[in-house]
Homo-oligomer: A and B are copies of this chain.
Amino acid sequence: MTAFDFDPPVSSVRDIVARALAEDVGLLGDLTSLAVIPVDANCRGRFVTRADGVLAGTAAATETFRQLDPTVEVVWLVVDGASIRAGDDLGTVSGPMRSILTGERTALNLLRHCSAIASLTNRFVLAAAGRTRILDTRKTTPGLRALEKAAVRAGGGSNHRESLSDAVLIKDNHLVACDLGEAIERARTRWPGRLVECECDTLDQVGAARAAGADRILVDNMSPEAVKEAIQLLEGAIPVEVSGNVSLETIGAYAAVEPDFVSVGAITYSAGHLDLALDFD
């Protein structure tokens, strides 16, 4: 098995883990382990889950121990993207006890954060019942986007824009010096071949955006009924993305009208931690 079994780019994982360890280990080291644990003590910990969900972030957890001490061995029984049930064993970490205790918190912070995102994403995906696709947004944690977008994929969601460099998304705010038609024209001229999406707040705007040649419509803060009308209006000509504080309570109603996408910022910014732990034998 190679580093590429894990989705997030290896150099992103490497950098994120290096910063996380520098931050948590400090300049002196793990005072407690250095004082109390013999240099030659070894141990074995089991990654376990105390909650149901979807696993993600194993590459980052593995990298944490690798950077601290290459002699630590991490073995996963479950891969990113797998459903896990409270009580499941997820994998093991074994080797020098000092290294393992020093890395425990950083590895868990990363694993719990990523798994929470994958799990919450998956709840949206399941609630959508295949009638729409769940997208993330750019509302990610600064510095962790590569990990978080990989976790969204592990949870069955898909990735919207990687960054501002990757597609055009025209909102009302952008129309200060030209109308929508000219804005789309400018975007196509400057960035040919890029997706040009237009945010619409009303059905009128939806019609205008279609007429102006948008590649995708983002209907923002509309009711499911309004979304349904927008979809009918568009007649399948271009895809529709629903956005605007969609929750687990409302995703079903939106999915029922079958937009192409529902983008949900909350899957990255409000996922919290999945209750995973490291149990020692």
Contacts and interface: CB of A to CB of B under 8 A. Distances in A.
B38 A141 contact: no
Copies of this chain, count: 6
A57 to B, nearest CB: 10
B272 A266 contact: yes
A257 interface: no
B194 A31 contact: yes
A98 interface: yes
A145 to B, nearest CB: 5
* A interface bracket (residues with beta carbon within 8 Å of B): 35 or more
Contact of A28 (B149, B183, B239): B149
A146 B261 CA distance: 31
Given A26-B164, A31-B166, A173-B280, 20 more contacts: A2-B39, A4-B39, A12-B27, A16-B142, A26-B165, A28-B165, A29-B150, A30-B164, A31-B187, A31-B190, A32-B174, A35-B183, A35-B190, A35-B191, A36-B178, A41-B176, A43-B173, A113-B269, A139-B273, A142-B143
24 contacts: A2-B99, A3-B68, A4-B96, A4-B99, A9-B22, A10-B68, A11-B18, A16-B143, A23-B143, A25-B164, A29-B150, A31-B166, A35-B190, A37-B174, A101-B174, A109-B140, A133-B192, A142-B143, A142-B144, A143-B144, A162-B165, A193-B195, A193-B216, A193-B261
